[in-house]
Structure 1
């Protein structure tokens, strides 16, 4: 997978992609992440990429011209499966979207900034608009890193345990069950006996029941969505 990220503050993305699973994915040659500085596509002496909004109002707006030059130049290099704009009014990112995006080969992510981008950018170039929640960040860079992390970890070969991503929370519409490791007892707190039994079927049954209980307690909305999906013949996975 190849992911290009367009930003006006590329330094914000240095750390997320230089460590852990994302760095491992690059080292293995499974994924390539490239951060593009939008200011490199500004023709102005000051490398300006924003301007005042027509009609007035507070805040600046990212201009269409440098964005168009950047995207069109990148499209000469490869064909993108999706051109994503990180914006608070996009569809809320979830595991099903991560699963869907992980099947693609080339993604381009545009990070919003200031008061957003000229609407004509969205009309002309953007194929998917994504939000990571109902709150506002200073820019789309951290949100883009969240999306990249969630997507890349699903690619075969990235995680050491190939089944790990398949048992994450939300993959089957449920939260993950509690997990334990050594010691089996700590200050009177014991690991459930079934997890020490070695009986795979009983362990799987316990984990499923624990997932349902935890989801009911913490995210009952997920159970409602799951039940609705089953009743109308749809699935949580895409």
Structure 2
């Protein structure tokens, strides 16, 4: 296995390498991939099986349904990766991991890349996870068929933060979670649609008032829809850069 060395590299350890790039080959991510802004490598875990049937899983000790990925096979795949790319943080995508948030995405996007270990079936033998100590990350409190869809989502979130991928970089600073809040509502033409009008403040050209309105809408939406985020937001120290003062009449 040979890895390229662009500014940011994603390596996916998976039983289904044909699932990649998938949607990552389209739109902004796909354009950046073709331009060499980032690179994608896949490692087929099955190629590290040593028996004639290329077995990668076995029945769980203690009984129970399903199959478990074997530690010797997964260990060989990780070991091969580590020998070639020791600088990449290893992430295991699993429902039992800590919930992925924007701060984690920013941290990964600012580094050399990420190696993503995708589980399947009932999971991976705990011993190999103990041996390599990957950072365990979850997209949320639900279960997917495997780690591949989660890997695609995490990679996409990182790619769009890379320099030059998103055209209007200012938009990155106004999205959901960037300031601990959900994003404010957005509107475009036509001005009236199905008897619904664009809020008058957005047509005023008064930038300070528009900014204050957007912050108020973001706060109201976060408070109503994500009480957990709202509580965390209220605990944050308010810095001058985040505080939006109400505009005065003479502004």
TM-score (norm 1): 0.91
- 1:78 matches 2:85: yes
Q: Secondary structure at the match of 2:52?
A: coil
**Conserved 8 A contact 2:56-2:73:** yes
**Conserved 8 A contact 1:85-1:126:** no
> For residue 160 of structure 1, what is the aligned residue in structure 2?
167
Coordinate RMSD, CA, aligned: 1.6
Q: Secondary structure at the match of 2:24?
A: coil
Work out the CA distance in 2 between the residues paired with 1:204 and 1:196: 12
**Conserved 8 A contact 1:93-1:131:** yes
Larger relative contact order (Cα-Cα within 8 Å, sequence gap ≥ 6): 1
> For residue 93 of structure 1, what is the aligned residue in structure 2?
100
TM-score (norm 2): 0.87
- 1:196 matches 2:200: no
Runs of 4+ with >3 A deviation: none
**Conserved 8 A contact 1:84-1:126:** no
| Structure 1 unmatched runs, 5+ | 232-238
Q: Which has the larger radius of gyration?
A: 2
Query: How far is the alpha carbon of 1:186 from its aligned partner?
Result: 2.1
- 1:108 matches 2:141: no
Which residue of 45, 49, 53 corresponds with 2:56?
A: 49
Query: How far is the alpha carbon of 1:187 from its aligned partner?
Result: 3.4
- 1:63 matches 2:70: yes
> For residue 124 of structure 2, what is the aligned residue in structure 1?
117
**Conserved 8 A contact 2:160-2:166:** yes
| Structure 2 unmatched runs, 5+ | 1-7, 239-251
Work out the CA distance in 1 between the residues paired with 2:31 and 2:183: 24
Query: How far is the alpha carbon of 1:80 from its aligned partner?
Result: 3.0
> For residue 245 of structure 2, what is the aligned residue in structure 1?
none
Query: How far is the alpha carbon of 1:140 from its aligned partner?
Result: 0.7
Work out the CA distance in 2 between the residues paired with 1:36 and 1:92: 25
Q: Secondary structure at the match of 1:164?
A: helix
> For residue 227 of structure 2, what is the aligned residue in structure 1?
220
Work out the CA distance in 2 between the residues paired with 1:15 and 1:78: 23
